[in-house]
Structure 1
Amino acid sequence: MPAGPVPVSPDAPPLRGPGLLDQVWRDLSFLHWRVDPTRVAPLLPPGVAPDTYDGTSWVGLIPFRLTDARFGSGPVLPYVGSFAETNVRLYGVDATGRRGVVFASLEAQRLAFVLGARAALNIPYTWARMRAGQEGDRYTYASRRRWPGPRGVGGRVEVEVLPDEVHGDPLADFLTARWGLFTRHLGGTWYLPNEHARWPLRRLRLLHLEDTLVAAAGLRGVTDRAPDSALFSAGVRTRFGGPQRVPVD
């Protein structure tokens, strides 16, 4: 069972108040590795501790396509609102029991989106040369960072999606059903909640992995071995709510 206050629910709690940002996440490959919590703790913002499953922390490498981004109920943002993305993420929990993602890095194709996310909430987006493609059940993602450094880090991921669906798997829920993110900003730590439908998940086979993003995030050697979990989702539409202050001792 998960080593936390309660198992992670596959269903999102409803947002309190209006949604501030709406996006669609498509063709996601969730690749995850076990990591010692002592390696993860220094990478988390103040007030956030490593969230663990079976006594270990996890780091995820998740390439996908983000589309149809909009503010609130406004129109979809042209050009800047759709792009390939790859994020490196960790998992944390605060003193109130809120569990969320901590992004170590997020590669994105659109410089304007990168600059806006960094300015608004200090979310560590980086500008990269990227592509994401599909041929049948095979998906390929490639990335090379442009700005800020280290320039050139990135890699290539190729996967094959398998037919078996994933239901009632507590580890899959722990790694994918995350209803908010933590970020450092303006001298404090903030929690940004989000909600979406339950993930449609399938298993995948990793065909090729070339990665330097996880090492650049501070976890060298992790992706030199096969992932401990490999999942795929066709995607969901998601909404983000307003930021909430995280208590820090």
Structure 2
Amino acid sequence: MPVTPTLESRLAVRERPSRPHVMLQRWEKLVFLHWRWDASDIQRTLPPGLFVDTFQGDAWLAIVPFYMRGIRPRFCPPVPGISNFLELNVRTYVHDEQGRPGVWFYSLDCDQPLAVWTARTFFHLPYQHARMQAPMADGWIDYTCQRRGEPAQSFFRYQLSDETRTAAPGTLEFFLAERYLLFSPSPRGIRCGQVHHVPYSLAEAKLDAWDVKPLLQAGFSDPRRPPDHVIGSPGVDVHVYPLTA
């Protein structure tokens, strides 16, 4: 039987690994749009060895648009035209048989071809080529994403509050935002990747427009309602570590 994550195990993965990191990144102006979802529907989409992670019996499905900044290998400076780009991912929350809690990505749309190639090749993540824009005016971000080969674009309009807080351990916000492991389907089976950053500074987010096309592209049905939970973050500096078993 798989081990269920405990609060202690969720806190433990926030500790900085002792091994060297391989990349540096900054994630900025994130908005997490979460829909409560039937856990059995999520479980059917997962590979053997991974199990849907729930909060008070509920599974969650998310769309997360944000800015990627200063992406570079360890010891290298950012490169103009390459290190800054946009990403939008569709994700859910899982754990493995050991009880390690993490993220499972259904897709990661990105407008930087080199980043798509790198993530697919070395991290085995389902990155997708897309045309994306995210201009900001008067505090509002107009975020658009059109995946290659798709006729229509997704559109999100959001604004983040200046006031921030960190998620209290054991709360829903902690469950949704404080994720430091990812699982990916490598040719040798499921692998685990880790990131390290300070706990998110979370901000209330006003959501003026949203789109469910990314959920439909991932094979899910239209929830036919606004997100059940919305939260944002101004950003974090991130260390990325290599995949392990």
Deviation of the 1:168 alpha carbon: 4.1
1:110 to 104, 109, 112: 112
Q: Are the equivalent residues in 2 in contact too, given 1:63–1:86 (CA < 8 A)?
A: yes
Question: Residue 91 and residue 153 in structure 1: after superposition, are their counterparts in 2 closer, same or farther (change >3 A)?
Answer: farther
Residue by residue over 1:195-214, the C-alpha shift from the partner in whole angstroms, topping out at 9 and shown as x without a partner, is: 00111111112111123111
Instruction: Report SS of the residue matched to 1:9.
Output: helix
- State the match for 2:143 in structure 1: 141
Spell out the pairing of 1:172-211 with structure 2 (5 A cutoff): 172-211=173-212
2 CA distance for matches of 1:135 and 1:45? 42
Residue by residue over 1:98-141, the C-alpha shift from the partner in whole angstroms, topping out at 9 and shown as x without a partner, is: 11111100000011211221122220000101011222332221
- State the match for 1:156 in structure 2: 155
Deviation of the 1:244 alpha carbon: 1.3
Residue by residue over 1:43-90, the C-alpha shift from the partner in whole angstroms, topping out at 9 and shown as x without a partner, is: 223211000012111011010100101111222233222101110011
Question: Residue 198 and residue 127 in structure 1: after superposition, are their counterparts in 2 closer, same or farther (change >3 A)?
Answer: same
- State the match for 1:212 in structure 2: 213
Runs of at least 4 residues of structure 1 off by over 4 A?
none
Residue by residue over 1:222-249, the C-alpha shift from the partner in whole angstroms, topping out at 9 and shown as x without a partner, is: 2x3111111111101101112111xxxx
2 CA distance for matches of 1:22 and 1:217? 28
Question: Residue 168 and residue 70 in structure 1: after superposition, are their counterparts in 2 closer, same or farther (change >3 A)?
Answer: closer
Residue by residue over 1:164-214, the C-alpha shift from the partner in whole angstroms, topping out at 9 and shown as x without a partner, is: 534444111111110111000013000001100111111112111123111
- State the match for 1:227 in structure 2: 227
- State the match for 1:78 in structure 2: 80
Deviation of the 1:4 alpha carbon: 4.3
Q: Are the equivalent residues in 2 in contact too, given 1:109–1:129 (CA < 8 A)?
A: yes
Question: Residue 155 and residue 10 in structure 1: after superposition, are their counterparts in 2 closer, same or farther (change >3 A)?
Answer: farther
1 CA distance for matches of 2:106 and 2:234? 24
Structure 2, gaps ≥5 residues long: none
Query: What letter matches 2:236 in structure 1?
Result: V
Say how many residue pairs are matched.
239
Q: Are the equivalent residues in 2 in contact too, given 1:27–1:64 (CA < 8 A)?
A: yes
Instruction: Report SS of the residue matched to 1:210.
Output: coil
Deviation of the 1:15 alpha carbon: 1.6
- State the match for 1:240 in structure 2: 240
2 CA distance for matches of 1:228 and 1:4? 23
Question: Residue 124 and residue 168 in structure 1: after superposition, are their counterparts in 2 closer, same or farther (change >3 A)?
Answer: closer
Once the two structures are aligned, what percentage of the paired residues are identical?
A: 28
Please give the TM-score of this superposition, normalised by the length of structure 2: 0.91
Q: Are the equivalent residues in 2 in contact too, given 1:130–1:143 (CA < 8 A)?
A: yes
- State the match for 1:54 in structure 2: 56
Q: Are the equivalent residues in 2 in contact too, given 1:10–1:198 (CA < 8 A)?
A: no
Query: What letter matches 2:130 in structure 1?
Result: A
Please give the TM-score of this superposition, normalised by the length of structure 1: 0.89
Q: Are the equivalent residues in 1 in contact too, given 2:166–2:199 (CA < 8 A)?
A: no
- State the match for 2:131 in structure 1: 129
- State the match for 2:90 in structure 1: 88
Q: Are the equivalent residues in 2 in contact too, given 1:11–1:198 (CA < 8 A)?
A: no
Instruction: Report SS of the residue matched to 2:11.
Output: coil
Q: Are the equivalent residues in 1 in contact too, given 2:166–2:200 (CA < 8 A)?
A: no
Question: Residue 69 and residue 163 in structure 1: after superposition, are their counterparts in 2 closer, same or farther (change >3 A)?
Answer: closer
Question: Residue 72 and residue 33 in structure 1: after superposition, are their counterparts in 2 closer, same or farther (change >3 A)?
Answer: same
Instruction: Report SS of the residue matched to 1:129.
Output: strand
